[in-house]
Amino acid sequence: MKVAGLSTLPPGRRATVSERLGGPLLLLAAVALTIFLLLPLGALLLGAVRDDAGAFSLARFAEFAATPGMATAVWNTLWVAVVVTAITVPLAFVYAYAIERACLPLRGLWRIIGLSALLGPSLVGAIAFIQWFGTQGVLKAWLGETSVYGPVGIVMATVYASFPHALMILVVALATADGRLYEAADALSASRWRKFVTVTLPGARYGLISAALVVFAYSVSEFGIPKVIGGNFPVLAVEIYVQVVGQHNFGRGAVVALLLLLPVLLAFAIDWWVQRRQQAGLSARAVPYRPRPDWRRDLPLLFYCLLLATAMLGILGMAAYTSLVRFWPYNLELSLDHYIYGLAEAGVLDAWLNSLRIAGLTALFGTPSVFFTAWLLEKCQGGPTGLRPLVRALAALPMGVPGLVLGIGYILFFNAPDNPLNGLYQTLAIMVVANIVHYYTACHLTALTALKGIDREFEAVSASLKVSPFVTLWRVTLPVCLPAVLEIARYLFINAMTTVSALVFLYSPATLPASVAILNLDEAGELGPAAAMATLIVLTSAAISLLYSLVTHLLFRRHQAWRQGQR
Amino acid sequence: MAHLEITQLSKRYGAFVALDGIELAVERGEFLVLLGPSGCGKTTLLRAIAGLERQDAGRIVHAGRDISQLSPALRDYGIVFQSYALFPNLSVADNVAYGLNSRRADRRLIHHRVEEMLELVGLPGSQQKYPAQLSGGQQQRVALARALATSPDLLLLDEPLSALDAIERVRLRSEIRSLQNRLGVTTIMVTHDQEEALAMADRIVVMRGGRIQQIGGPQEIYRAPGNDFVADFIGRGNLLDATGAGPQHVRIGDLLLRCAGPAGEGHRQRFYVRPEDIRLHDTLDQGENSFYAHVVKCEFLGAYSLVTLQAPTGDARPLVAQFSANYLGGREIRPGATLRVGIPAEHLRPLPEAA
Amino acid sequence: MQLKHLIRHFAVAGLALAAIVPAHAEKTVLNVYTALETDQLKAYQQAFNSAHPDIEIKWTRDSTGIITAKLLAEKAKPVADVIMGVAASSMVVFDREKMLQPYAPANLKALNPRFRSAGATPTWVGMDVWGAAICYNVAEMQKQGLPRIESWKDLLKPEFKGKIVMPNPNSSGTGFLDVTAWLQMFGEKGGWDYMDKLHENIAVYTHSGSKPCVMAGAGEFPVGIAFEYRANVVRSKGAPIDIIFPKEGLGWDMEAIAIVNGTAKLEAAKKLADWATTREANELYAKNFAVVAMPGIATRLKYVPNDYEQRLVKNDFAWMGKNRDAILAEWQKRYATKSEPKK
């Protein structure tokens, strides 16, 4: 069975066709990322430093600085972000600590509830807080004379919305502790507090920094929440919207977008830098820490979880309740009026279908693109030098680009009359692309982790067996990485379903997504239908998450013969 | 012309020199082992032969064909890695047939070939199992079967035994060797384990710092190391600085010892002695080349003991001797004791001038 | 192989998704920019399509201020073919910018002559009048012991501090007509003085003209400065509100239709303009508005008084159009930091 005809190969042919495809394909990915990420950001930059005639000028910045209220907006944005970070991170840290470092019953449940805010758009919290603490709110008294419309509401809703993002990071940070350190501390009979300060906190410090930066960036770039509950409190994210959508002043919008991009990009650059230093954090010989029951620690933590979980369910529940109440606050009869008349009859339900379509297509096209690119990067050779670092950088960049900024970049780039891709503007396709790019980094990292987790030599073995790398991708790599692939698909779907920020600039009347419809409904004062739409989104996301759990569960059961120890 | 001929192969990673002008000829059917400490370039050399690393300079000619610039898929070899690299989602049969499938061979033929290969590696009937259900040694056998299934002209083994436990390792190494004998496939194996190399190789290539230190059969490498490094790396060795003192005699410190070869008067020369070649004499036995030494330390290692001795060799380095339990016959050696030991002239081996 | 199954499922899902995407028939697609309320659009579109099934209307809807900004921004390369249901005060601005195509719709003669732009061939034609109204939540009034409201000046009472919502004139046509009405009623200085004091009592400036009344209806803030159509709708839904028409007079504006200069779909655009002046169309307008372009059609709205038309202030569209930028800039300068974040 020897390979015949090797010597008859044409001279100069030094690799098989499929081996030579890796470079060009990766180049293609780089080009796509450049067109859909780098060039829009470039257009944004150019838009900010050019005057109306197109000449270079910093006049827009000067003009911006002189605009009344802008300094206030910058200041408001920053201090709110700091306050939100200062509240969310400790809140999430204790919650994560309870999940990972205490012996609580129903650990999985606390975790799911802790992450529940991810299922809906950020506006869910804002709507629910209006209902809880607004003028007619049940708990209005808690706020005293302070109105919920303004910084108080923004902070509360942003804390709620950013909580799961911090929680995810901190759970991971606390899950990977070295049990030996605690044993050593015990051997030295260190007090509980001392152990916490000398072992737990330092061990989680990278997670804490990361969580703080993520929450800060989230708060700075969040747009829906201040829009709905912000009252007369100006912040930058809304200011972009006012400039671009309200006044069609794209140049000014670009300036504000740059202003927004800077702190967020900075936050993620710091995070990246900090995480790189973490490499040596946990040695391979570490022993996983297993908490032992201790009621003095567990009972207060259980109470804490119960409290927070109740609050979080109360927020989701209030949104659902609002969607069912006939006429808040005067007629509390329950009905499906808001769904039937507010959504279906009013034609707004199309928005939900649009969102399903957008989310479905985002998952359908985004998952293979992300995974395939990561595979090309990790497992294939070829392409010009510098291509790989470029693709790596392009894949990491979206994390630091708020959706609003990306959206403005898209308008400036794709709406330019002389852009050959102009036809994409205001189509469903561009919203799908914007979503894929916006959520690229997290998906890319998931794919990369999965790919790094499998044997490095698969490709070498296949090459030695004269099997094309694409066949090995299809027969081996993809099946082995299927859990990660499904995870990426779910992540893309849910985020595409719930996102507002980038899409708010890109939709046309025919492609209005549900999350933006909530904004519009709220704007018309239709809080009931807005809550109904929010509830629909939450239910959809929950259904997809359930489906995902089911599929992965079945997958692991079917593959248990070979997936041992992979979970 | 040799079956595989490597000329002036060089490779750098930045400032690190991985391969430095490697010249190597492998004969058809030979079992060649690349041996050396980590970072010596042995794995890089193997991967260059496989086309997994591209050399900066030099040529590789395999069966008369210059393969230096060819991609792995265009070369003709099978490879086995330390990590087995078995496809976890494919059954043992599918793993073994992996290279056969792509050639669109007849299903029944494939089936036969898989059966044949599994029998060859001693795992008949395990077609339907998944890799995760096999032990490490079994997995490596499957990997071997997979690599050999396509009848490659060259078999490359990258530390195939390092991930196995001690017993499995010894068992599999003799199996691999006998399999190779039977199939006659030219094989190149990388290892850092000298015992493995000595046990399996037709020829050993000792490498250090990207350079070949010595090429030779196991006996030759062990008995006649080409330089200090080889002498030290293969087995243990006591290095002794000597000055010629008359024909066939050298002075080492306070000792005057006879050696097998001629020694020029006053000529400085270096010798080495394998620990197992040091003899234990009766205390009063004044035999040739014997002298008194103090026991500094004695390590009992089961079948033999390693004894660190202080002898008047004019050198701060102690002398290490190895006495088998058999040889000692129950005699106890305690630290602080004085022993009469000897180095037979034929075991006092001259080293080439320091490399 | 399980993966194959999965891929097949994905493919099926993909096809299903693609199938949801509506198939586009061979129709003339007319881009219509509008500030009409979402709940009105559907009825107008249905009626129009039953007469002209070959024309598909693609609405771009936003509040008056935003649609106006959008049209101005797209001046060089217009996307819209027709502007329908946008304030006459904005139409005057477009007209000054030469963005409108003069056209006399088929039924022009049947319309009240006040409902058209000046000149031999009108550049825009009015559809209906929408005017100011105050939504006052009586339940909250009683609960919080608030005074009665009869006039605009009543809103300045200190009891109303933080209890009033009004639309931001920059984005809302309703907000703009309120501001211009005050400036015309109280004079330039008097108007701004009034707004300075009113500003003290405003809780939130909303982006849309509809929201204040809805918020008042829900008791979120008891007083909403709104317009009669929305007030009527909110009241009809059972909100405990009184609709108040302040005695000084009501600001108003006209919803109008115009064809965009240079449209490639002039024929279809003319058909829509023609339809917008028919009796049928006016009857539809009349369901929402007390005063429409065709005389004799107006039906009384349940919660709007009969003499509504007489309460409207004298309005000068030319003045409104000419001073639009200046008024909005001045307003922005004075009250911007208290504007609800605009949509």
> pLDDT digits over B320-329, tens only?
999 988 888 7
Shortest alpha-carbon distance between residue B119 and chain A (Å): 18
Nearest-Cα residue of chain A relative to residue B65? A7
**Contacting residues of A for B100, CB less than 8 Å apart:** 1
Among C3, C239, C336, select the one facing A478 at the smallest CB separation.
Answer: C3
Q: Take residue A191 and report the two structure tokens written for it.
A: 């007090």
Tokens of A38: 């780098």
Q: Tell me, yes or no, whether A172 lies in a domain.
A: yes
Chain A residues with CB-CB distance to B127 below 8 A? none
Q: What structural domains and CATH numbers belong to chain B?
A: 4-77+152-233 (3.40.50.300), 91-143 (no CATH), 238-350 (2.40.50.100)
What band does C195 get if pLDDT is binned at 50, 70 and 90? very high
- Contact: A476, B130; criterion CB under 8 Å: no
Domain positions in chain C are 28-129+253-304, 130-251+319-338
Torsion of CA B9, B14, B15, B20, to 10 degrees: 0
DSSP type of residue C85: E
pLDDT beyond 60 at A175: yes
C77 touches chain A (CB under 8 A): yes
Of A149, A347, A353, the CB nearest to C42: A347
The answer, for C214 touching chain A at a CB cutoff of 8 Å, is yes
| Cβ neighbours of B136 (radius 10 Å) | 15
User: What is the spatial distance between Cα B208 and Cα B45, in angstroms, rounded to a whole number?
Assistant: 12
The tokens describing C186, both together, are 């109280």
Give the distance from residue A26's alpha carbon to the nearest chain C alpha carbon, in angstroms: 23
Select from C42, C214, C220 the Cβ nearest to the Cβ of A134. C220
Class of domain C28-129+253-304 as given by CATH:
alpha beta
SS3 state at A34: helix
Residue corresponding to tokens 């490659």: B152
Q: What is the DSSP letter of C250?
A: B
Note the ipTM here: 0.85
Q: Does A470 touch chain B if contact means CB atoms closer than 8 Å? A: no
Average pLDDT on C36-46 reads 85
Fold match, C28-129+253-304 / C130-251+319-338: yes
DSSP state of A199: I
Chains that touch B (3 or more CB pairs under 8 A): A
Any CB–CB contact under 8 A between A561 and chain B? yes
What is d(CA B328, CA B323) in angstroms, rounded to the nearest whole number?
6
Number of domains in chain A: 1
Residues 6+ apart with CB under 8 A from A68: C332, C333, C336, C337
Euclidean distance between CA atoms A553 and A550, whole angstroms: 5
Instruction: Calculate the alpha carbon distances from C64 to A518, C37, C177 in Å.
Output: 20, 10, 11
Nearest-by-Cβ selection for C337 from A234, A238, A347: A234
Best probe of the A interface among C17, C144, C339, by most A CBs < 10 A, is C17
Best residue in A80, A222, A248 for a mutation probing chain C (most C CBs within 10 Å): A248
B73/A19 Cβ within 8 A: yes
Q: Which of C12, C93, C142, C220 to mutate to test the interface with A (most CBs of A within 10 A)?
A: C220
How confident is the prediction for chain B on average, in pLDDT?
90
Residue C1 has pLDDT above 50, yes or no: no
Tens-place pLDDT, residues A85-139: 999 999 999 999 999 888 989 888 999 999 999 999 999 999 999 999 988 888 8
A460: tokens are 């070498």
**CA–CA gap between residue C226 and residue C206 (Å, rounded):** 11
User: B107: exposed, middle or buried (C-beta count within 10 Å: 0-12, 13-18, 19+)?
Assistant: exposed
Residue located via tokens 């100011």: C132
Query: Which of A247, A428, A473 to mutate to test binding with chain C, by most C CBs within 10 Å of its CB?
Result: A247
Best A458, A465, A474, A567 residue to mutate vs chain B (most B CBs within 10 Å): A465
Q: Report the percentage of chain B scoring pLDDT > 70.
A: 98
CA C120 to centroid of chain Cα atoms: 27
Q: Is the dihedral of CA C80, C84, C85, C89 positive or negative?
A: positive
Residues C293, C112: contact at Cβ < 8 Å? yes
- C36 to chain A, closest Cα gap in Å: 12
Q: Are C95 and C44 in contact (CB under 8 A)?
A: no
Comparing CB atoms, the residue among C72, C205, C208 nearest residue A524 is: C208
Least confident of B11-25, B87-101, C65-79, C85-99: C65-79
Torsion of CA A245, A246, A248, A253, to 10 degrees: -70
Confidence label for C27 from pLDDT (cuts 50, 70 and 90): confident
Domain of residue A104 covers 70-278+285-335
Closest listed residue to residue B172, CA positions, set B43, B303, B84: B84
Chain B closest-CA separation from residue A288 CA (Å)? 23
Amino acid at B295: V
Confidence of residue A432 (pLDDT cuts 50, 70, 90): very high
Q: What is the CATH number of domain C130-251+319-338?
A: 3.40.190.10
A550 contact B CB<8A: no
> Which residue, chain included where needed, has tokens 């086309």?
B51
CA-nearest residue to A239 within chain C is: C341
Q: What is the mean pLDDT of chain A?
A: 88
Reported confidence tier of residue B311, pLDDT bands at 50, 70, 90:
confident
Q: Is residue A91 part of a domain?
A: yes
Question: A525, C214: Cβ pair inside 8 Å?
Answer: yes
Contact B147 A464 (CB under 8 A): yes
Return the CATH number at A97: 1.10.3720.10
- Tell me the pLDDT tens digit for each residue of A454-509: 888 999 999 999 999 999 999 999 999 999 999 999 999 999 999 998 898 888 87
Contact yes or no for C214 and A526 at CB 8 A: yes
Asked if A232's CB is within 8 angstroms of C337's CB, the reply is yes
- Per-residue pLDDT band at C318 (split at 50, 70, 90): confident
Interface of C with A in 132-151 (CB under 8 A): 139
User: Widest CA span of chain C, in angstroms?
Assistant: 81
| Length of chain A, in residues | 567
For residue range C210-253, what is the model confidence (pLDDT) as tens digits?
899 999 999 999 999 999 888 988 998 888 999 999 999 999 99
The per-residue pLDDT for A5 is: 35
Give the position of tokens 């911006």.
Answer: A64
B254 burial via Cβ count (<10 Å: 0-12, 13-18, 19+): exposed
Closest residue of chain A to C19, computed from CA coordinates: A357
Is C229 annotated to bind a ligand? Reply is yes
Residue carrying structure tokens 């709007």: C304
Query: Do the chains contact at A464 and B88, CB–CB below 8 Å?
Result: no
SS3 category, A451: helix
pLDDT, residue B226, reads 87
**Residue C339 clears pLDDT 50, i.e. is over it:** no
- Residue A299 covered by a domain: yes
Q: Is residue A318 part of a domain?
A: yes
Query: Are A364 and C10 a contacting pair at CB < 8 A?
Result: yes
In this complex, is the C-beta atom of C31 within 8 Å of any C-beta atom belonging to chain A?
A: no
Q: Using 50, 70 and 90 to split pLDDT, how confident is the model at A357? A: very high
- Number of Cβ within 10 Å of residue C265's Cβ equals 18
Q: Identify which of A502, A505, A499 has the alpha carbon closest to the alpha carbon of residue A518.
A: A499
Burial class (CB in 10 A: 0-12, 13-18, 19+), A37: buried
What torsion do the CA atoms of C300, C304, C305, C311 make, to the nearest 10 degrees?
-110
Report chain C's terminal Cα–Cα distance, integer Å: 51
CB interface of C with A, residues 154-213, below 8 Å: 162, 170-171, 203-208, 210-213
pLDDT for B118:
96
Rounded to the nearest 5°, which phi and psi values hold at A387?
-65, -45
Q: Are C256 and C116 in contact (CB under 8 A)?
A: no
Residue B153 has pLDDT above 70, yes or no: yes
Distance in Å, alpha carbon of A35 to nearest chain C alpha carbon: 24
Neighbouring chains of A at 3+ CB pairs under 8 Å are B, C
A461 belongs to a structural domain? no
The Cα B141–Cα B123 span in angstroms is 8
Q: Kindly state the average pLDDT of the residues C29-52.
A: 89
Give the B window 138-177 contacts with A, CB below 8 Å.
146-147, 150-153, 156
A146 φ, ψ (degrees, to nearest 5):
-75, 140
Distance CA A124, CA A114 (A): 15
CA distance B297 to A103: 53
Does residue A28 sit in helix, strand or coil?
Answer: helix
Q: Please tell me the distance from the alpha carbon of residue B342 to that of residue B354, in angstroms, as a whole number.
A: 25
Task: Decide: helix, strand or coil at residue B241.
Answer: strand
3-state secondary structure of C258: strand
Q: Is the CB of residue C102 less than 8 Å away from at least one CB of chain A?
A: no
* Cβ contacts of C58 on chain A, cutoff 8 Å: 508-510
Q: What is the pTM of this model?
A: 0.87
Say if the Cβ atoms of A16 and B74 lie within 8 Å.
yes
Residue A12 with chain B: CB contacts under 8 Å: none
Q: Which of A133, A135, A341, A352 to mutate to test the interface with C (most CBs of C within 10 A)?
A: A135
Q: Say whether A331 and C238 touch across the interface (CB within 8 A).
A: yes
Amino acid at A63: E
By Cβ distance, the residue of C3, C37, C342 closest to A479 is C3
- The number of residues in chain C equals 343
The CA distance from B207 to the nearest CA of chain A, in Å, is 24
**Cα end-to-end span (Å), chain A:** 39
A445, pLDDT greater than 80: yes
